[in-house]
Structure 1
Amino acid sequence: MARLTREQSQAQTKAKLLVSAREVVARDGYEGATVERIAEEAGFSKGAFYSNFNGKEDIFLYLLETHSGEDVTELQRLLGDIDDGQLLIDTLSNWAQQRSTDPSWGMLALELFRRARRDATFGERHSNLFRAQWEGLGKILLRLFPDGKAPAEPAALGGIVFELTYGAASSFTNGPTVGELVKVALTSMYKAYGLERATAS
């Protein structure tokens, strides 16, 4: 078997550390997910951890950045060929409902932001963490509306869906499901500003 290059070996180590971080934080919470525990459960030393990440905050920011990018890629594939507005809304609502069954992503983001505010480490990387994710989905949602008739900018449209999807409270309370909330929000905008309005005019 061919020997791994230094870059390949480092990429493999980084990937294993990210998997470990995801598992540890899901089990122990942000406070309990120490660098030592993440490194140990990935099978590495603290030195290997710090060769790839600056610290606990860095690895969880990277984890959230990666996850948010994967969401957009998946939604582009899932919604890419749909040109019927209501079918797009239904498909996206079902996706949001499925995603909401794992509230740990939203809870991780909230805890990381809370800790960063407390420790005065909150910066540009934190504030822009979900910008590309929101804009990516928002650009897809623009097809629900005639040109120039969307009720908000792409980042706001996408942000509505992702905030409803990953909001922790709706995953625990006995009320409308995330899928229902997303469908109500998007259908209301679609009927008020979208293709149905364009057809009527």
Structure 2
Amino acid sequence: MARLTRAESQARTRELLLATARRLFLRDGYHATTMEKVAEAAGFSKGAVYSNFSTKDELCHAVIEAVRAEHVQRIFEAFRGEGSGEERLAAFTAWSERTIGDPGWTLLEAEFAIHAARRDPALRDRVARGGRAWSGALRLLLEEEARRRDLTLPLPAAELADALLGLGIGLGLRRAVDPTLPATALPSLVRLLLDLSDRHERK
């Protein structure tokens, strides 16, 4: 078996550290997870962790960004399917039930956001940019769905996206505490907005 190049070895080490950190952060939260624990669980020295991620904030932010990217991809897959509008909404509803309020991800996002807001402006800005990216993805999906249905949205897509994101965050926090709550509010609101747009177009 061919030996890995230095670059390949470094990339593999980084991937393993990210995977390990993801497991620990989602299980134990931001504050309970230390760089030392990540190093030990991954089977590396603490120096190996710091050579890839200079701070715990950087490592946690990388984990959160990776999780977000996966969820954004799944939402895009749900909304960009080739089925009917009802089938796309059904796929989005299924994603909502599986994802909104997931305790590990939801509580980590909240804990890290509070930490960032209190720590320093630069970290706070990085977290804020992530939120704007989420909102931007929702805006694109709303615009695309309106185009596919030949509708005019009742409000600018950017405003609707911010409102939906806020609802999703609030509902997620509530479901993390009370898993019996349904996640249907978010897809139901999307349906209502599309129905209102449709009725307006028919007048």
Is the shorter-chain TM-score for this pair beyond 0.5, marking a shared fold? yes
Q: Which deviations, in whole Å up to 9, do the C-alpha atoms of 1:156-176 show, x marking residues without a partner?
A: 427615852672212332664
User: Which ranges of structure 2 fall in alignment gaps of 5 or more residues?
Assistant: none
Greater CA deviation, 155-164 or 165-174?
A: 155-164
Give the residue type in structure 1 aligned to 2:15.
A
Tell whether the 8 Å contact from 2:25 to 2:60 is kept in structure 1 after alignment.
Answer: no
Question: Quick check: 1:19 aligned with 2:24?
Answer: no
Q: How does 1:119-198 map to 2 (within 5 A)?
A: 119-120=119-120, 122-145=123-146, 146=150, 148-149=152-153, 151-154=155-158, 156-157=160-161, 160-161=164-165, 164=168, 167-173=172-178, 176-178=181-183, 180-193=184-197, 195-198=198-201
**Distance in structure 2 (CA, Å) of the matches to 1:156 and 1:13:** 41
Residues 73-131 of structure 1: CA deviation (Å, up to 9, x unaligned): 23333332346333322211111111136221121111112112222253321210132
Q: In structure 1, what is the equivalent of residue 66 of structure 2?
A: 66
Structure 1 residues 162 and 2: CA distance shift in structure 2, 3 A: farther
Matched residue count: 198
Alpha-carbon contact 1:34-1:56 (below 8 Å) kept: yes
Contact 2:17 2:38 in 1 (8 A): yes
Following superposition, the deviation at residue 53 of structure 1 comes to: 0.6
Moved more, 184-193 or 167-176: 167-176
2:126 aligned counterpart, secondary structure = helix
Q: 1:141 Cα shift? A: 2.2
SS of equivalent residue, structure 1 residue 60:
helix
Shift of 1:183: 2.3
Deviation at 1:66, TM superposition (A): 1.4
- What is the rounded CA distance, in whole Å, between the counterparts of 1:43 and 1:7 in structure 2? 19
The whole-number CA distance in structure 1 between the counterparts of 2:159 and 2:66 is: 18
Counting only pairs closer than 5 Å after superposition, residues 40-59 of structure 1 correspond to structure 2 as: 40-59=40-59
Classify the secondary structure of the residue corresponding to 2:31: helix
For the aligned residue pairs, the C-alpha RMSD in angstroms reads 2.5
Q: 1:93-104 maps to which residues of 2 (within 5 A)?
A: 93-100=93-100, 102-104=102-104
1:10 aligns with 2:14: no
Identity percentage over the alignment?
A: 26
- Please give the alpha-carbon distance, in whole angstroms, between the structure 2 residues aligned to 1:102 and 1:28: 14
Partners of 1:108 and 1:50 in 2: how far apart? 21
C-alpha spacing 1:177/1:24, structure 2 compared with 1 (3 Å):
same
Distance across 2 between alignment mates of 1:96 and 1:174 = 13
Given the superposition, is the C-alpha separation of residues 61 and 90 from structure 1 closer, same or farther in structure 2, using an over 3 Å criterion?
same
Q: Structure 1 unaligned runs (5+)? A: none
2:77 corresponds to: 77
Residue of structure 2 equivalent to 1:87: 87
